[in-house]
Each structure stands twice: as structure tokens, then as C-alpha cells.
Amino acid sequence: MSQSPPTVGLVIVSHSSDVARGTAEMARQMVGDEVTIVHCGGDPDGGLGTDVSKIVEAIDQAWSEAGVAILVDLGGAETNSEMAVEMQPAERQDRIRILNAPVVEGAVMAAAEAAGGSPLSAVQATAEELMGQP
């Protein structure tokens, strides 16, 4: 039985767990099970915010040898995601990127790119192209 090469995993981080879940759902509709998409949102008490330990867990769940792309919504989601990346083992850190792209559109584009077996750099470029549009 031949194994297909690993695809880039996605982590969706939003201040709202509803937004994170909905975004993951939209991206999954594009790509089915070809890409591992993990979402997390909400602060440690369940209010609006983000939680470093949840993000660390999500990265673990989404981990693939091809790497992990993280989509974030606002300020603290990015800062907390950076913190979570720094807590990963050193050999993983080079293969994790926080994408500079809008969370919903970026997740859909990244998922579509990842599903085709593209490397992390291509997944990042495709999602980030959205920011370059006039």
C-alpha cells in the first residue's frame, strides 16, 4: 500500500471559538479529510480571547512532517500563537508559519493549496497573496 505524502496541517485561531469552528468547517468543505484542520478559540475561561495552551495542543494535533500553517484573527491571537510556536521543540519551529492573511479567506485558500500536496512555503504564499490585492 503506497502512502500519500503528508500534507501541511492547518490551525485556526480566533478570539471566538464559534468563528474558529465555523472557519474550520468552511475550509473542510473545500478539502474534506485531505488536510488536518484544527481550530481553537476563546480565552482560558471560555470568554472571547485566545489561549496559549489550547494553541499548543492544536499545533500538536495538526502536526505533519510537511509543517503547520496557523491562521489568526486579531492582535492577541497572533502574539499568543507566536508564544505557542516558541514552546514547540526546536526542530519543529522552522516548519510552523503564522500566515499574514485574513482568517476565513486565508484558511480556505491555505486548505485548498495544502490539499494539492504543496509545501508549506506555497501554502503560505497562496494565503498571503490575499493581502496583496488592491
Partner 1 sequence: MANEQLSALIDATNTAVQEAKDDLTKLDQAIGDGDHGLNMARGFAAIEQDRDKILAKPLGPALQAAGMTLVMKVGGASGPLYGSLLMAMGKAAPEGEPDRASLADMLGAGVEAVKKRGKSDRGAKTMLDVLIPVQEALADGADIAKIRQVADDAAEATIPMVATKGRASYLGERSAGHLDPGAASSRLLLQTVCDVIEG
Identify which of residues 50 and 124 has a Cβ nearer to partner 1 in the complex.
50
**What distance in Å separates the CA atoms of residue 122 and residue 119, rounded to the nearest whole number?**
5
- Contact track, partner 1, 96-115, x by CB under 8 A: --------------------
Identify which of residues 49 and 119 has a Cβ nearer to partner 1 in the complex.
49
C-alpha cell at 130: 490575499
Element spanning 69, H or E: strand 68-72
- Rule CB under 8 A: say whether 76 interacts with partner 1: yes
C-alpha cell at 132: 496583496
Q: Which of 53, 121, 129, 131 binds partner 1 (CB under 8 A)?
A: 53
Residue of 8, 9, 12, 15 marked active site = 15
Quickly tell me which residue has 486565508 as its cell: 106
Identify which of residues 47 and 116 has a Cβ nearer to partner 1 in the complex.
47
Beta carbons of 10 and 110 less than 8 angstroms apart? yes
Q: Is 15 a known active-site residue?
A: yes
